[in-house]
Amino acid sequence: MIEKAVAEWGSEIEVFGDRTFKDAAWIEAQRQGVTVYDQGTGELYQPSEDVRRSFEADRSRARSEGDELNAIKNHKAVAALVLEAAAGDKAALTKLETNDMELSDFVTLHLDDEQRGKLVGQPEADVVAALPEFRRFGKSARERENEKRKDAPERENVFDVDPEDLAEGRDHDHARVPR
């Protein structure tokens, strides 16, 4: 009946009968986006408060299960990116840099070549479970890298190209060394 309402009746249906039947029809109609009218009053059908609460609880539970499934899919996709980046896939590394810098730093700064090779051989499920720890390692590696750069002495430009040399059409393939 609800399927027919969707297919042929503009997603609307009138119900009649006892309260239990109307409530059951209303629940299924809500799941499929069908508007339910009470034939006796011609108004939108109002289910009992218990039925409405039960439906809202089911919908909330289904939504959270859907969110959980989406989160699992997302974690699996991120784990796959980590594995691909560790294997040397530049596109995967670029996606990580764009979307999760801590994981990118984990792959590029924290791991050495041998560790990246070992990571590539790990099951995706193990990588999913380790993502929070990988992020912490990546964050720490970035902090250490920033400290190294901050403590490193500034370098002078050893080579300098004089703008006049470029403007005069001189041979600018050779850089002048400042004296």
**Would you state the pLDDT for residue 6?**
47
Most confident of 16-20, 47-51, 72-76, 110-114: 110-114
pLDDT at 88 over 90: yes
Burial code (b: 16+ CB inside 10 Å, e: under 16) for 26-58 equals: bbbbbeeebbbeeeeeeeebebeeebeeebeee
More confident residue, 59 or 128: 128
pLDDT single digits (tens) 125-135: 899 899 999 99
Q: Which amino acid is at 129?
A: A
pTM of the model: 0.50
pLDDT at 69 over 80: no
pLDDT single digits (tens) 142-160: 999 999 888 877 766 556 6
**Would you state the pLDDT for residue 106?**
94
Structure tokens belonging to residue 12? 């609307």
Q: Which of 22-36, 50-64, 131-145 has the least mean pLDDT?
A: 22-36
